[in-house]
């Protein structure tokens, strides 16, 4: 069954160069133009940045809630990353300590990370 596009539908379609237009192209199996590809890439990039930033902020808030545990985990992780000769042992230790802290206190992380 083929439905004809009415003027009402055409007036309300998102113009090319938007993420909605990219989704429309995908749904209709149409070729995607450069403007729509760029809009979709921008949408994905912004989503990744927001998610990563929110998670980092939640992990840092968790470290402030449990400073003693964080410092103990960081010291242990720093020794490990130095043994492994990591390119940036301090950064690696921070990441490892925050991840371990998140595993120890998942409920606190869930409250800090919406």
Regions of the chain with pLDDT less than 70:
1-11, 49-50, 113-114
For the chain, the structural domain boundaries read 15-112
The pLDDT assigned to 70 comes to 95
pLDDT (0 to 100) of residue 52 = 78
SS3 content of the chain, % helix, strand, coil (to 5): 75, 0, 25
CA distance 30 to 23: 10
**Which residue in the block uniquely carries the two structure tokens 């998670």?**
55
Q: What is the pLDDT, as a whole number, of residue 63?
A: 94
């Amino acid at each position: 069954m083929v439905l004809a596009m009415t003027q009402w539908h055409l007036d309300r379609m998102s113009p090319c160069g938007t993420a909605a237009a990219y989704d429309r192209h995908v749904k209709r199996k149409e070729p995607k133009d450069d403007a729509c590809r760029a809009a979709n890439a921008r949408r994905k990039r912004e989503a990744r940045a927001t998610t990563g930033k929110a998670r980092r902020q939640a992990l840092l808030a968790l470290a402030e809630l449990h400073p003693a545990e964080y410092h103990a985990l960081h010291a242990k992780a720093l020794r490990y990353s130095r043994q492994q000769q990591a390119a940036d042992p301090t950064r690696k230790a921070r990441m490892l300590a925050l991840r371990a802290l998140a595993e120890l206190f998942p409920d606190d992380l869930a409250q800090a990370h919406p």
